[in-house]
Amino acid sequence: MKFAVLSPIVDFVFPPRCPLCGAAVHTQSGLCASCWNELAIPGEPCCALCSRPFQGDLAPGTTCAPCLAEPPRHAGIADATLYNDASRRLVLAFKHGSRLGLGPMMARLMAASLARYEQDAWVFVPVPLHRWRIWRRGYNQAAVLAREIVRTAGGSLAVDALVRRKSTASLGGLGRRARLRELSGAIGISPKGAAAVRGRTVVLVDDVLTSGATSDACVGVLLRAGASKVVVACFARVIDEA
Ligand SMILES: [Zn+2]
Ligand SMILES: [Zn+2]
């Protein structure tokens, strides 16, 4: 859908406001300068495998303790921001407040964080949402982001490649083993999805990356389906204690 032609009228009726603080801004999809500065954009130094930020100076190629203990199955994490109050409020507005207009801005940041990976013909696959949740919310926020990233960065979209076979309880508060048990068998791949990812570099897309249990289950399914590697892209990444 193209609304660009309507935007001067929309701007006149609804003057653009920063979605976080309400200050006047130039476009409907942007943040004001001070909220922009509150976003934590991850940088160097960081873990060579999962880009977890490090304190202090460490040699390039160093890996973090969790990656050392158990090498990840993904081929890297592209995190647009580190989870903080500003990114949390953005995600909530996008996810529950139906501020879908934030999608392009969030997707641009995600596309920028993907730039550190060698670009081959990426296939973008959103983390699936159970159909009951899609029905309640009206959309899968990860699929909206994946579609916007493809629009910005190119590549192909396999929006229904992964499917939720059962509705999982919230994983928050569960230990690692309990999370794995809750997720086992919850995520599958469609025949069309398997054909789309076979032999390809897949970018798994989600809005927030927390424990990594859900994304790890998705990465496992994609690799078993024949994806050559899977990079995990998220808008906001929760850094847990390492
Ligand atoms: Zn603001
Ligand atoms: Zn790491």
Ligand nearest to the CA of 79: 2
Confidence at residue 226, expressed as pLDDT on a 0 to 100 scale:
97
pLDDT tens, residue by residue, 4-44 = 555 555 555 567 888 888 888 887 667 888 999 999 999 88
pLDDT tens, residue by residue, 116-145 = 888 778 999 999 987 667 667 677 899 999
Q: How far out from the chain centre does Cα 120 lie?
A: 19
Residue 97, token pair as written in the block: 């407040």
Confidence at residue 127, expressed as pLDDT on a 0 to 100 scale:
95
Is the CB of residue 125 less than 8 Å from the CB of residue 193? yes
Task: State which residues have CB under 5 angstroms from ligand 2, the bound ion.
Answer: 47, 49-50, 52, 64, 67
pTM over 0.85: yes
Confidence at residue 56, expressed as pLDDT on a 0 to 100 scale:
77
Confidence at residue 54, expressed as pLDDT on a 0 to 100 scale:
87
Buried b / exposed e over 27-59, threshold 16 CB at 10 Å, is ebbbbbeebeebbbebeeebbbbbbbbeeeeee
Residue 96, token pair as written in the block: 């529950």
Q: What average pLDDT does this structure show over 200-219?
A: 93
Distance 55 CA to ligand 2 centre (A): 13
Distance 232 CA to ligand 2 centre (A): 13
pLDDT tens, residue by residue, 153-189 = 899 999 999 998 877 667 777 777 787 777 778 899 9
Please state, in angstroms and rounded to a whole number, the distance separating the CA atoms of residues 122 and 155.
5
Distance 53 CA to ligand 2 centre (A): 9
Distance 104 CA to ligand 2 centre (A): 28
Q: What average pLDDT does this structure show over 203-219?
A: 92
Distance 146 CA to ligand 1 centre (A): 25
Smallest Cα–Cα separation from 204: which of 191, 192, 215? 215
Q: How far out from the chain centre does Cα 90 lie?
A: 13
Ligand nearest to the CA of 64: 2
Confidence at residue 203, expressed as pLDDT on a 0 to 100 scale:
97
Is the CB of residue 82 less than 8 Å from the CB of residue 73? no
Distance 90 CA to ligand 2 centre (A): 26
Please state, in angstroms and rounded to a whole number, the distance separating the CA atoms of residues 102 and 151.
14
Ligand nearest to the CA of 38: 1
Neighbours of 66 (CB within 10 A): 17
Please state, in angstroms and rounded to a whole number, the distance separating the CA atoms of residues 202 and 128.
14
Smallest Cα–Cα separation from 82: which of 32, 46, 114, 39? 39
Residues facing residue 187 across a β-bridge: 164
Amino acid at 116: R
Say yes or no to pLDDT of 242 above 60: no
Neighbours of 156 (CB within 10 A): 12
pLDDT tens, residue by residue, 50-89 = 999 988 777 878 999 989 999 999 999 999 999 999 999 9
- Burial class (CB within 10 angstroms; exposed 0-12, middle 13-18, buried 19+) of 230: buried
73 — phi, psi (to 5°)? Answer: -85, -20
Helical pair 213-224 and 176-183, crossing angle rounded to 10 deg = 50
Say yes or no to pLDDT of 3 above 70: no
